[in-house]
């Protein structure tokens, strides 16, 4: 399996970072930059979707991506980043609720801070992202269903569970074509997934330092996973974006 981890485009919360006058959203939309990043992502992947004949290991995707499956979280910014890719490539496009950002959908208001909120309902996705295959149990009560704020203790087990489920769905099988899977998710979840894949302690590095894998908006990271090996081919690729659209 080849796994491509794509962070969502710039959200309103990303753009408002550091601005004391900005009120963060529980489920922020993409900014104008984020919409343009998603458009360019879709264009780049479409132009490089077809696999070209190549006898060597194409570690940098110079000979195409050949994506076979696309997943996204049910947070608005991820769904609207992935949708243009799905429209451009016309590959299976499925929601994967477990790849949401850490914390879930929760209130940022002072009086109700960290209280669970509903999340977008089924009708929202049917109207705005009709290509997306939704979970059977998603109804008008919203996908998060007012669950409590996701605690620190719940986050790593979720990433571990996702990795196991991913390998069960798409791991290499003898005699079967290799799956090339793209997921559109979030920066915080990426850190937990890296810890899951590499069995790293959370936020711990040498000499008492705290670790973090930084991802830019709409960056692409590639992992090759075969029967016995995990290879990190590249992280945080943004070379297809112009400089003014490389945002954090």
Percent of the chain with pLDDT over 90: 95
DSSP state of 116: B
182 and 71 Cβ atoms separated by less than 8 Å: yes
Q: Report the pLDDT value the prediction gives residue 148, as an integer from 0 to 100.
A: 97
3 state SS of 236: strand
Q: Report the pLDDT value the prediction gives residue 55, as an integer from 0 to 100.
A: 86
pLDDT at 13 over 90: yes
Percent of the chain with pLDDT over 70: 100
pLDDT at 166 over 90: yes
What average pLDDT does range 134-158 have in this prediction? 98
Q: How confident is the model at residue 26 (pLDDT cuts 50, 70, 90)?
A: very high
Please give the order of strands across the beta sheet that includes 180-185.
93-95, 69-72, 180-185, 2-7, 220-225, 230-237
At 106, phi and psi to the nearest 5?
-145, 160
Query: Mind listing the pLDDT tens digit for each residue in 170-219?
Result: 999 999 999 999 999 999 999 999 999 999 999 999 999 999 999 999 99
Q: How confident is the model at residue 227 (pLDDT cuts 50, 70, 90)?
A: confident
Considering the segment(s) 2-245 as one domain, its CATH architecture is 3-Layer(aba) Sandwich (3.40)
Q: How confident is the model at residue 18 (pLDDT cuts 50, 70, 90)?
A: confident
What's the maximum distance between 2 C-alpha atoms anywhere in the chain? 61
Q: Kindly report the CA angle at 25 between 19 and 28, in degrees rounded to 5? A: 105
pLDDT at 136 over 90: yes
Q: Where are the beta strands (DSSP E) in the chain?
A: 2-7, 69-72, 93-95, 180-185, 220-225, 230-237
**Residue carrying the six token digits 């669970």:** 116
pTM recorded for the entire structure: 0.97
Q: Which residue, among 85, 51, 80, has the nearest Cα to 220 in the 3D structure?
A: 85
Q: How confident is the model at residue 134 (pLDDT cuts 50, 70, 90)?
A: very high
Query: Judging by beta carbons within 10 Å of its beta carbon (0-12, 13-18, 19+), is residue 145 exposed, middle or buried?
Result: middle
Separation CA 135–CA 147 (nearest Å): 17
99 token code pair: 């790849």
3 state SS of 68: coil
């Amino acid at each position: 399996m080849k796994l491509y981890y794509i962070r969502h485009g710039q959200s309103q919360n990303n753009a408002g970072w550091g601005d004391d006058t900005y009120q963060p959203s529980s489920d922020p939309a993409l900014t104008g930059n984020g919409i343009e990043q998603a458009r360019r992502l879709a264009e780049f992947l479409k132009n490089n979707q077809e696999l070209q004949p190549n006898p060597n290991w194409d570690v940098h995707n110079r000979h195409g991506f050949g994506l076979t499956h696309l997943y996204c979280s049910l947070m608005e910014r991820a769904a609207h980043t992935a949708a243009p890719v799905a429209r451009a490539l016309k590959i299976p496009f499925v929601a994967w609720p477990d790849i949401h950002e850490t914390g879930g959908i929760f209130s940022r208001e002072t009086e109700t801070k960290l209280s669970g909120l509903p999340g977008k309902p089924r009708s929202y996705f049917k109207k705005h992202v009709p290509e997306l295959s939704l979970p059977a149990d998603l109804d008008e009560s919203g996908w998060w269903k007012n669950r409590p704020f996701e605690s620190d203790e719940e986050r790593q087990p979720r990433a571990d569970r996702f990795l196991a489920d991913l390998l069960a769905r798409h791991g290499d099988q003898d005699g079967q074509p290799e799956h090339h899977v793209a997921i559109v998710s979030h920066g915080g979840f990426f850190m937990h997934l890296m810890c899951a894949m590499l069995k790293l302690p959370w936020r711990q590095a040498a000499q008492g330092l705290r670790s973090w894998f930084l991802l830019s908006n709409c960056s692409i990271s590639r992992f090759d996973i075969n029967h016995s090996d995990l290879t990190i081919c590249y992280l945080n690729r943004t070379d297809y974006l112009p400089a003014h659209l490389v945002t954090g």
